């Protein structure tokens, strides 16, 4: 592009960042006949939802990681999860992009063993699609309906999250979800099966559900599960942490809890015996890109690798935006919070681990969700294999995440991963990092729509 | 089976017109064929006419009969090869129209006739066909009945008949795991189990019955309202060798019901099963049921009158009968 090619152009909407929320808004705006300019400072789509091959993942850690979002990235090559990291990437130097991965790592003086391991993995570089923020989609949720109505569902592929696991007290058990799975399950006792079926039927029958909310809506969810449904032990944990996704120490109302169970149960059976779908080829990123595609088809303009110097209100209804390739005028601005100059990390930190394993621990071809529960917290885990085309055949990736700083949660994450792996595989490469939700000051964001940074929930809705 | 009925909409003028034309054409063809039949015309042409008619309506059993008579009257019937060819064609014809009305008794009957008349029938292919059908509709009676017919033929020709039974038994297990409310699968299982038991020694039999017990308990706990599961449990009880075994299973049944009732005290089916369990127990072993338990049964029947008012008559009748049998005040 010519240096001042954009000068003087005017748009109805300028969107910064190609994450999921921004992309959906961009495509909606374009469909509504607004002129849209969608820019991203990165040379890739997806923003905070992006997805990378192994080499690009390391490049992200070095070059494009926004400081306020992710202070440092710890990488552990092979070894045990409890070992100290092989190297820590903490400086952001954006002019080292497009360097060969091993060259880039030279300053860390890795042992020949480590270098060899990395080289082996890099041979299959393109087979890896590592997600920054892994998420799944409810089979009958708002995003799914949107994907269907926008016809994105016709070309973005998904795999069903076939199994759900609960890890507690050092062991991991598969928790059945549908009637067929409950019938055939070996993890639940007979009476536990009855209790689970009872909960699920009551919540999915409209009359019974309404009656339930009427009578118990305002009481506490845990109380309801214990008193009315007589749940305890593993089953209680499964409903609280796996199905309703409550956080350790949180108390939610019975109404809220039942709503979550209701949403979960409603999703089962639509595409199979599971409640969630996992995007193939890197879900979140693929979906974001699809919305961008839609926007482009409706006339939106896309520029990647475009830095934003300033966003200033120019007049009553306009903003002046200074980009690399010129200054444009915009009636409305939409931005991902990491584009705001006053963005400040909130207290909400999510610590994340990405563990590439040399084997398939929860099944050779399956996708699975797991929750690890112990006294210090609840860790969400997502397990993917070659069937989602995000990892070479024979290997798997285990994502784990929990709210809290890495310092506080490092051992919790490690326990969660180790219990889930259950000695069936060893880590080839582990990456630990924090992602921060950002706060943007009110003065800066006046007139601007700021989207939300990805959070710790498991689904994209 | 829990599927919503679709709203019917009124047909348009156009649609009514087209329907009338179809009916007229059909009526004409029908009279033509019946006419040929009356005149005992057994030619290739009449065969063709019946085919066109049956394509439109598979329920005309007289026409199927007529078609069979034509086949057997043709000269080609006498030659093995020509007969094979004709009937292979017939099987293909049936396959083409099977989707029109999968539940047509006459069509299935005709298929069985064709296969029985074939010099070289392919039973494995038939098994594959019926497996496909059951995959589409797992509770189709015709499918299951036809499957039993095919399996019987395979068993006849097999050297290891027991292996055929085992295979079929495994098939029912598969269907049940897929849907534990598949009554047809359970029914088929009940036909196979006695055969399988005769092939095993004492230990093997106990093991097999224990497996059945575990399986049916899973079904009952998954859905205690499914009457079929209870029926299967009772049937397992019946095939026990001794009354002592039966009483033991009845006591287990009662314990199971109590556990279920603790969770859901007004659950209709477990309540009625409780009463019938005690009644049966007393019948097998007079005096084994306590006075308090008998009184509980009558109280339960009273409660059921309120829980299930549609069957008040049944419960009052049971009350009366049991009271008399047990010499208690109703």
- Report pTM: 0.84
Scan residues 218-237 of A and list those with Cβ closer than 8 Å to B. 230
What pLDDT digit, counting tens, does each position of A245-277 carry? 888 878 888 888 999 999 999 999 888 888 999
Confidence of residue B1 (pLDDT cuts 50, 70, 90): low
Q: Are A386 and A411 in contact (CB under 8 A)?
A: no
Q: B155 to each of B18, B128, B164, B167, B174, how far by Cα in Å?
A: 49, 15, 6, 11, 20
Please count the residue pairs, one from chain A and one from chain B, whose beta carbons lie less than 8 angstroms apart. Answer: 36
Confidence of residue A312 (pLDDT cuts 50, 70, 90): confident
CA distance B181 to chain A (A): 10
Model confidence pLDDT, tens digit, residues B292-314: 999 999 999 999 999 999 999 99
Is the pLDDT confidence value at A390 over 90?
yes
Q: What is the pLDDT of residue A5?
A: 84
Q: Are B254 and B282 in contact (CB under 8 A)?
A: no
CB of A208 within 8 Å of any CB in chain B?
no
Residue A385 has pLDDT above 90, yes or no: yes
The pLDDT tens digits of the residues spanning A176-211 come to: 988 999 999 998 999 999 999 999 999 888 888 888
Pair B60, B53: CB distance under 8 Å: yes
What is the per-residue pLDDT across B20-29, written as a single tens digit (0 to 9) for each? 888 888 888 8
Q: Shortest Cα distance from B219 to chain A (angstroms)?
A: 6
* Inter-chain CB proximity A193 and B223 less than 8 Å: no
What whole-number distance in Å separates Cα of residue B233 and Cα of residue B247? 13
- To which H or E segment does residue B21 belong? helix B13-38
Query: A300 near A30, Cβ under 8 Å?
Result: yes
CA distance A287 to chain B (A): 33
State whether B264 and A198 contact (CB < 8 Å).
yes
Report chain B residues whose CB lies below 8 A from the CB of A183: 177, 180, 218-219, 222
Interface residue A205 vs chain B (CB under 8 A) = no
Residue of A303, A347, A307 whose CA lies nearest to A323? A307
Name the residue of chain A whose CA is nearest to B217's CA.
Answer: A190
Q: Best of A183, A211, A228 to disrupt the B interface by mutation (most B CBs within 10 Å)?
A: A183
Q: What is the ipTM of this complex?
A: 0.80
Point out the residue among B180, B259, B260 whose CB comes nearest to the CB of A183. B180
Using a CB-CB cut-off of 8 Å, the residues of chain B touching A198 are 263-264
What count of residues does chain A have?
461
Q: Out of B177, B179, B221, name the one closest to residue A191 (CB).
A: B221
**Total residue count of chain B as it appears in this document:** 330
Residue A22 pLDDT more than 80?
yes
Is any Cβ of chain A less than 8 angstroms from the Cβ of B211? Answer: no
Bigger pLDDT: A461 vs A59: A59
**How close B4 gets to chain A, by Cα (Å)?**
14
Cβ(B258)–Cβ(B265) below 8 Å: no
pLDDT of residue B4: 66
The Cα A352–Cα B176 span in angstroms is 41
**Cβ separation of B218 and A179 shorter than 8 Å?**
no
Q: Is B199 near chain A, with CB under 8 Å?
A: no
How far apart CA B118 and CA A53 sit, in angstroms, is 61
Q: Which of residues 166-185 of A touch B (CB under 8 A)?
A: 179-180, 182-184
Using an 8 Å CB-CB cutoff, list chain A residues near B217.
190
* Interior angle at CA B107, CA B105 and CA B110, nearest 5: 110
Q: What is the DSSP letter of B116?
A: H
């Amino acid at each position: 592009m010519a240096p001042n090619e954009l000068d003087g152009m005017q748009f109805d909407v300028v969107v910064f960042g190609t994450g999921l929320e921004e992309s959906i808004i961009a495509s909606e705006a374009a469909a509504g006949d607004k002129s849209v300019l969608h820019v991203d400072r990165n040379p890739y789509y997806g923003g905070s939802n992006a997805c990378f091959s192994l080499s690009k993942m390391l490049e992200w850690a070095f070059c494009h990681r926004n400081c306020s979002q992710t202070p440092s990235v710890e990488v552990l090559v092979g070894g045990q999860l409890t070992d100290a990291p092989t190297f820590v990437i903490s400086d952001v130097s954006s002019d080292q992009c497009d360097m060969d991965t091993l060259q880039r790592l030279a300053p860390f003086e890795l042992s020949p063993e480590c270098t060899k391991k990395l080289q082996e993995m890099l041979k299959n570089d393109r087979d890896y699609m590592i997600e920054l923020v892994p998420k799944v989609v409810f089979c009958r949720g708002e995003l799914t309906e949107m994907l269907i109505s926008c016809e994105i569902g016709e070309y973005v592929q998904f795999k069903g999250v076939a199994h759900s696991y609960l890890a507690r007290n050092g062991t991991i058990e598969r928790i059945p979800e549908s009637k067929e799975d409950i019938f055939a399950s070996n993890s639940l006792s007979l009476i536990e099966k009855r209790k689970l079926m009872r909960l699920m039927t009551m919540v999915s029958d409209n009359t019974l559900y309404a009656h339930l909310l009427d009578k118990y809506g305002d009481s506490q969810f845990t109380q309801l599960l214990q008193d009315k449904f007589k749940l305890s032990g593993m089953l209680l944990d499964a409903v609280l942490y796996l199905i309703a996704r409550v956080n350790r120490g949180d108390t939610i109302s019975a109404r809220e809890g039942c709503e979550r169970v209701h949403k979960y149960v409603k999703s089962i059976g639509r595409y199979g015996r599971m409640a969630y779908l996992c995007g193939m080829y890197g879900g979140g990123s693929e979906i974001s890109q699809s919305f961008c595609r839609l926007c482009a088809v409706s006339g939106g303009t896309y520029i990647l690798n475009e830095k934003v110097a300033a966003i200033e209100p120019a007049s009553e209804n306009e903003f002046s935006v200074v980009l690399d390739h010129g200054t444009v005028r915009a009636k409305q601005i939409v931005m991902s919070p990491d584009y705001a100059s006053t963005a400040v990390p909130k207290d909400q930190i999510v610590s994340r681990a990405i563990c590439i394993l040399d084997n398939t621990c929860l099944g050779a071809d399956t996708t699975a969700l797991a929750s690890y529960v112990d006294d210090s917290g609840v860790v969400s885990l997502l397990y993917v294999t070659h069937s989602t085309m995000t990892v070479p055949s024979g290997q798997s990736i285990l994502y784990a995440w929990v709210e809290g700083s890495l310092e506080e949660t490092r051992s919790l994450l490690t326990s969660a991963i180790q219990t889930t792996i259950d000695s069936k595989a060893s880590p080839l490469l582990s990456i630990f990092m924090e992602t921060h939700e950002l706060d943007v000051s009110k003065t800066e964001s006046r007139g601007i729509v700021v989207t939300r940074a990805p959070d710790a929930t498991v689904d994209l809705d | 089976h829990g599927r919503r009925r679709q709203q019917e909409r009124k047909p348009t003028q156009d649609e009514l017109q087209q329907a009338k034309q179809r009916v007229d054409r059909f009526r004409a063809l029908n009279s033509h064929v019946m006419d040929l039949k009356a005149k005992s015309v057994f030619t290739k042409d009449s065969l063709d006419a019946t085919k066109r008619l049956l394509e439109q309506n598979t329920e005309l059993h007289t026409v199927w009969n007529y078609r069979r008579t034509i086949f057997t009257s043709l000269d080609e019937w006498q030659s093995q090869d020509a007969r094979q060819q004709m009937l292979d064609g017939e099987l293909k014809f049936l396959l083409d129209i099977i989707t029109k009305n999968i539940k047509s008794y006459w069509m299935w009957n005709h298929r069985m006739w064709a296969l029985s008349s074939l010099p070289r029938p392919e039973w494995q292919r038939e098994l594959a066909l019926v497996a496909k059908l059951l995959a589409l509709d797992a509770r189709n009676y015709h499918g299951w009945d036809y499957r039993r017919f095919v399996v019987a033929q395979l068993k006849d020709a097999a050297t290891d008949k027991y292996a055929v039974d085992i295979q079929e038994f495994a098939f029912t297990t598969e269907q049940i795991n897929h849907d534990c409310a598949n009554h047809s699968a359970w029914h088929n299982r009940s036909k196979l189990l006695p055969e399988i038991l005769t092939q095993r020694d004492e230990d093997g039999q106990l093991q097999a019955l224990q497996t059945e017990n575990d399986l049916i308990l899973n079904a009952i706990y998954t859905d205690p309202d499914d009457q079929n599961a209870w029926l299967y449990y009772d049937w397992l009880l019946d095939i026990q060798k001794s009354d002592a075994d039966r009483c033991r299973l009845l006591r287990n049944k009662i314990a199971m019901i109590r556990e279920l009732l603790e969770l859901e005290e007004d659950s209709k089916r477990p309540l009625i099963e409780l009463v019938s369990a005690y009644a049966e127990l007393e019948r097998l072993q007079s005096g084994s049921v306590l006075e308090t338990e008998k009184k509980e049964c009558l109280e339960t029947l009273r409660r059921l009158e309120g829980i299930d008012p549609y069957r008040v008559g049944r419960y009052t009748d049971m009350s009366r009968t049991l009271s008399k049998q047990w010499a208690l005040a109703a």
